[in-house]
Amino acid sequence: MSSSTMHLVMLMHVCIGVLASNNLVQSSKFSSLLVFGDSTVDPGNNNYLLTISKANYFPYGIDFPGHVPTGRFSNGKLVPDFLASALNIKDTVPPFLNPDLSDQELLTGVSFGSGQSGIDDFTASLTNVLSMDQQLQYFKAYTMKLKQIVGEDQAMQRLHDALVLISVGTNDFILNFHDFPSRRLMFITIDAYQDYLLDKFEVIIKELYDQGCRNIGVAGLPPLGCVPLQMTLKLKIDRQCLMHQNTDSEKYNQKLAQRLSLLQATLPQSKIVYGDLYHPLLNLFTHPQHYGMEVTNRGCCGSGYLEVIEICNAFTPLCSNHSKYVFWDSVHLTEASYSYLADYLIRVALPLFFK
Per residue in 72-102, pLDDT tens? 999 999 999 999 999 999 999 999 999 999 9
pLDDT score, position 18: 45
CA 87 to chain centre: 17
Residue 2 counted as domain residue: no
Residue 8 counted as domain residue: no
Note if 322 is an active site residue: no
Domain count, the chain: 1
Cβ atoms of 69 and 57 within 8 Å: the answer is yes
Note if 39 is an active site residue: yes
Residue 305 counted as domain residue: yes
pLDDT digits (tens, 9 = 90+) for 16-53: 444 444 555 544 689 999 999 999 999 999 999 999 99
Cβ atoms of 35 and 112 within 8 Å: the answer is yes
Residue 38 counted as domain residue: yes
- Catalytic one among 38, 172, 248, 329? 329
pLDDT digits (tens, 9 = 90+) for 122-143: 999 999 999 999 999 999 999 9
Residue 346 counted as domain residue: yes
Please provide residue 79's backbone torsions phi and psi, each rounded to the nearest 5 degrees: -55, -45
pLDDT score, position 337: 98
- Catalytic one among 31, 42, 74, 332? 332
**Angle subtended at Cα 133 by Cα 80 and Cα 337, rounded to the nearest 5 degrees:** 25
Which carries the bigger pLDDT value, residue 133 or residue 236? Answer: 133
CATH of the domain at 223: 3.40.50.1110
Detail the DSSP E strand segments found in the chain: 33-37, 163-167, 215-219, 271-275, 295-299, 325-327
Residue 6 counted as domain residue: no
pLDDT digits (tens, 9 = 90+) for 311-355: 999 999 999 999 999 999 999 999 999 999 999 999 999 999 998
Assess whether pLDDT exceeds 60 at residue 249. Answer: yes
Assess whether pLDDT exceeds 60 at residue 237. Answer: yes
Distance separating alpha carbons of residues 221 and 337, to the nearest angstrom: 15
Residue 23 counted as domain residue: no
pLDDT score, position 296: 98
pLDDT score, position 17: 43
pLDDT score, position 30: 97
Note if 111 is an active site residue: no
Residue 14 counted as domain residue: no
- Catalytic one among 39, 117, 131, 323? 39
Query: Where in the sequence is the domain holding 82, given as residue range(s)?
Result: 32-353
0.75 exceeded by the pTM? yes
